[in-house]
Amino acid sequence: QSALTQPASVSGSPGQSITISCTGSSDNIGYYNYVSWYQHHPGKAPKLIIFEVSNRPSGVSDRFSGSKSGNMASLTISGLQAEDEADYYCSSYTASTTHVLLGGGTKLTVL
Amino acid sequence: EAQLVESGGGLGQPGRSLRLSCAASGFTFEDYSMHWVRQAPGKGLEWVSGISWNSASIAYADSVKGRFTVSRDNAKNSLYLQMNSLSAEDTAFYYCVKGNLIQRSLDLWGLGTLVTVSS
């Protein structure tokens, strides 16, 4: 069982916005501004889309945005497109372990 | 262009061993920590192991501790995962991943190599 909890699935129609939550604790998300999000299309390499809570790597669409409040981080995808259908994972740094914390993943379906 | 290419996957028998390799290119390999992350069929991503740039710091998930050994050869720009005492639960795609210590993120992933453990 992961230390970071995500909903198993979310869905939305093209053009809509969706938000994926990632709930941790005061030991990780609540204390550090080191939340990352990854997009994974089956059969492809996972891709970093958000780092340090809300920063986008070069080349990532500005339709992807991240935020944090307390022990919960969120990934928002606006203007949903068919190509956004994928699995999304959150991650957070914690000093209490050398392990990398990964959420259980959320499957996004574009209706 | 930065790239990670895994190899060494395949069919392994329960109780036996496999060794995965990862070839890095397009970045200064010796400057970065590296990780292995796996995905079992129908499951999410699971961090397996990480190693610092100079191999001084190594960590393992509890599920593989004592059975898997991570290592690297900076002269060969390569990362390795020695997998011993394999069990069916180790069946998964294994991804080689570059760590970013400043961002505390995993900023480059390989395509993965499939390990199937079955008799």
**DSSP per residue, A22-68:** EE--TTTTTT-S-EEEEEE-TTS--EEEEBTTTBPPTT--TTEEEEE
CB contact under 8 A, B111 and A47: no
Query: How confident is residue A96, by pLDDT bands cut at 50, 70 and 90?
Result: confident
Q: What is the pLDDT of residues A24-64, one digit of tens each?
A: 999 999 999 999 999 999 999 999 999 999 999 999 999 99
How far apart are the CA of A81 and the nearest CA of chain B, in angstroms? Answer: 23
Determine the pLDDT at residue A108: 98
Q: Mean of the per-residue pLDDT values for chain A?
A: 95
Determine the pLDDT at residue B90: 98
Average pLDDT over every residue of B25-36? 96
Determine the pLDDT at residue B76: 98
Q: Which residue of B has its CA nearest to A107?
A: B44
How far apart are the CA of A14 and the nearest CA of chain B, in angstroms? Answer: 25
In the numeric block, the tokens 């069929």 are attached to B41
Does residue B105 register a pLDDT over 90? yes
Q: What is the pLDDT of residues B1-20, one digit of tens each?
A: 999 999 999 999 999 999 99
Query: How confident is residue B29, by pLDDT bands cut at 50, 70 and 90?
Result: very high
Q: Are strands A101-102 and A86-92 parallel, antiparallel or unpaired?
A: antiparallel
Q: How many CB pairs under 8 A join A and B?
A: 69
| Burial (CB count <10 Å: 0-12, 13-18, 19+), residue B57 | exposed
Determine the pLDDT at residue A100: 87
Does residue A70 register a pLDDT over 80? yes
Q: What is the pLDDT of residues B43-83, one digit of tens each?
A: 999 999 999 999 999 999 999 999 999 999 999 999 999 99
Query: How confident is residue A97, by pLDDT bands cut at 50, 70 and 90?
Result: confident
Does residue B91 register a pLDDT over 90? yes
Query: How confident is residue A95, by pLDDT bands cut at 50, 70 and 90?
Result: confident
B contacts of A87 (beta carbons < 8 Å): 44
- Please indicate if any CB of chain A lies within 8 Å of the CB of B12: no
Rounded Cα distance, B107 and A36, in Å: 9
Q: Which two tokens stand for residue A39?
A: 């997009």
Does residue A92 register a pLDDT over 90? yes
B35 closest CB neighbour out of A47, A89, A100: A100
Sign of CA dihedral A63, B112, A89, A33: negative
Distances B3 to A25, A51, B6, B81, B82 between C-alpha atoms, Å: 34, 20, 10, 18, 21
Q: Which residue of A has its CA nearest to B98?
A: A48
